[in-house]
Amino acid sequence: MIAAAMTRTRRLLDRLLGDDLARKLARGGLAALVIKVGAAGLSFLMFLVLARAMSAEDFGRFGFGFSLATLLAVAGSFGQRMLVLRFAPVYDHDGDRQKLAGVVRDGYRLVALGCGLLGLATVVTGLLWPGLAARGYLVAAGVFTLVLGLAEYQAHVLRAFGGMLLSLGPRDILWRAGVILLALGAALGLLPKLDAAGGLWLTAGVLAAVVAGQALAHPVTRPAALFAGPADTSDRPTWRHAMWGLWASSFIRTAAPNLAVVVLGLVLTPEATGPFFAALRLSMLLNLFLMAANMIAAPMIARTYHRGDRDDLQRLCAHVSVGLTLPTLAVFLVFVLAGDRLLELFGTGYAAYYWVLIVLSVGYLVNALSGSTSQLMEMTGDERYYLRIVTVVNGIAIAALAPLSLLLGPLGAAIALTFSQCAWNASCILRSRTRCKVDPSILSFLYKP
């Protein structure tokens, strides 16, 4: 029975994509999906346990510090995450091992420099800024910035080689499981409660240990290969030209949700920031299936476009959008029916943020059903136009965050974020249909590009 079901599934994939693309995407996508499903559950449990291990005020500060570190880690990475996904598969396909080593090594250096400087600035701010009610959590957030930046870049490096288990498993599974185990005693009342600084030190320390072990597990990321092996950096001018557009677009795209938490932390109380942070992290689960698909689709998009095969590129994007629709809608329905009960698990009174969760979830639903919009533009050399789109749209959303938050509270911030998700995805779809004659969204089955 299972064998028959697998045979029918394979035939369906072959009709959609062709044999080679179907097998590669299904094999890699399945591995990524399994890891991301586990990561989604562990992410929910990690933030739930941390919320229970802290007071409402400290969880609000933790959410502020976590979001700030996430934002700074993207800023300090200078677009190297997407750049290595764009160039490494091409060098690997061409068999150019020295250029492959060069782009990976160059990325590590830039990420360490950028995230290190931004993290240091956060530490200094936490130590010296006058009038802060609490300082330790900003120091911890600064250290977490560097660790998170290196962790994310290293995961993208390993993704470029197609190793889903090694690239995603340590950060998505081992890190979260480790934090849960170490914070569980405080959450259950068996140990003293954590403060915001303790929570951030815990997350940073476990992640640092996991990243170190991950680096030693692959030949490309071992210290000897990174710093001593032969490398060709003659394409560095090309990398630099591409990196600024990739950096700006990734930062602006990531800025809105994380900046929303930071803005709320500045204009409202920590007690109001914590429930919004919980609602935001829950709504991000709707990106689960899109993220899993993009893990394997991004380098495949780069290779397919490099070959000049537009029909295969459309089939690839079509399969991604088909695979996303039903499971994403199912998660959204769970939030509609039981979102208030899920929020209440984080703390008493969190259920009042139900409509914040729903509004945020609408934005992430649109993002998922739009398919691999950002990957399609970034992997096909259209990152600068993509940058203009997200700059304008997210610029409007970011500018509206503070006034809407003051006017409507956390719901205002949720409205601004949902506007940005819907607007930039719609703009990217129209651009891709015009430029590449490829539609990455579910609408491609209704309106052929």
The model's pLDDT over 111-122, given as tens digits with 9 standing for 90+, comes to 999 999 999 999
Q: Is residue 1 part of a domain?
A: no
Nearest to 393 by CA among 447, 353, 365, 430: 430
pLDDT band at 222 (very low <50, low <70, confident <90, very high): confident
**Cα 304–chain centre separation:** 23
Output the six-digit token pair for 328. 């994403």
Residue 22: inside a domain? yes
Residue at 8 is within a domain:
no
List the single range of 80-84, 302-306, 388-392 with lowest mean pLDDT: 302-306
pLDDT of residue 382: 79
Burial (0-12, 13-18, 19+ Cβ within 10 Å), 301: buried
Check if the beta carbon of residue 167 is closer than 8 Å to that of residue 158: yes
Helix (H, G, I), strand (E, B), or coil: what is residue 95? coil
Length of the chain equals: 449
Indicate the pLDDT class of residue 29, thresholds 50, 70 and 90. low
**pLDDT score, position 24:** 55
The neighbour count for residue 240, using CB atoms within 10 Å, is 14
User: 91 is written with which tokens?
Assistant: 């060098």
Q: How far apart are CA 285 and CA 48, in angstroms?
A: 14
Other Cβ atoms within 10 Å of 30 Cβ, number: 13
Judge contact between 270 and 347, C-beta under 8 A: no
Is residue 223 a part of any domain in this protein? yes
Amino acid 390: pLDDT: 85
| Residues of the domain holding 342 | 18-445
- Max CA separation in the chain (angstroms): 68
Closest CA to 381 of 435, 430, 422, 424: 435
Retrieve residue 84's tokens. 């290595």
CA distance 33 to 35: 5
Q: How far apart are CA 108 and CA 395, in angstroms?
A: 29
Maximum average pLDDT range among 149-163, 169-183, 266-280, 430-444: 169-183
Choose between 245 and 234: higher pLDDT. 234
The answer to whether position 373 is within a domain reads yes
pLDDT at 19 over 50: no
Q: Look at residue 32 and tell me whether its pLDDT is greater than 80.
A: no
Q: Which of 16-20, 237-241, 314-318 has the lowest mean pLDDT?
A: 16-20
Average pLDDT over residues 301-310: 77
pLDDT at 417: 93
On whether the CB atoms of residues 134 and 61 are closer than 8 A, the answer is: yes
- Closest Cα partner for 176 from 216, 137, 206, 217? 206
Q: Would you say residue 131 lies in a domain?
A: yes
What's residue 9's pLDDT?
Answer: 41
Exposed/middle/buried for residue 130 (C-beta within 10 Å: 0-12, 13-18, 19+): exposed
pTM: 0.79
DSSP single-letter state for residue 193: P
Instruction: Classify residue 381 as left (phi > 0), alpha (psi -120 to 50) or beta.
Output: left
pLDDT of residue 27: 53
The pLDDT score that the predictor gives to residue 82 is 85
| Direct distance between the N- and C-terminal alpha carbons of the chain, in angstroms, rounded to an integer | 38
* 361-399 tens-digit pLDDT: 999 999 999 988 888 887 787 777 888 888 899 889 988
Region of poorest pLDDT, from 75-79, 125-129, 161-165, 374-378? 161-165
Q: Mean pLDDT over all residues of the chain?
A: 85
CB 114 within 8 A of CB 80: no
Q: Confirm whether 6 is domain-assigned.
A: no
| Residue 265, pLDDT above cutoff 90 | no
Check residue 446 and give its pLDDT: 66
Given 3-state DSSP classes, what are the helix, strand and coil percentages for the chain, each rounded to the nearest 5? 85, 0, 15
- Per-residue pLDDT band for 317 (boundaries 50, 70, 90) equals confident
Q: Could you give the angle at which helices 270-283 and 236-267 cross, rounded to 10 degrees? A: 130
Across 284-289, average pLDDT: 86
Domain contains 250: yes
Total domain count, the chain:
1
CA distances from 80 to 113, 157, 431, 446 (A): 12, 9, 24, 36
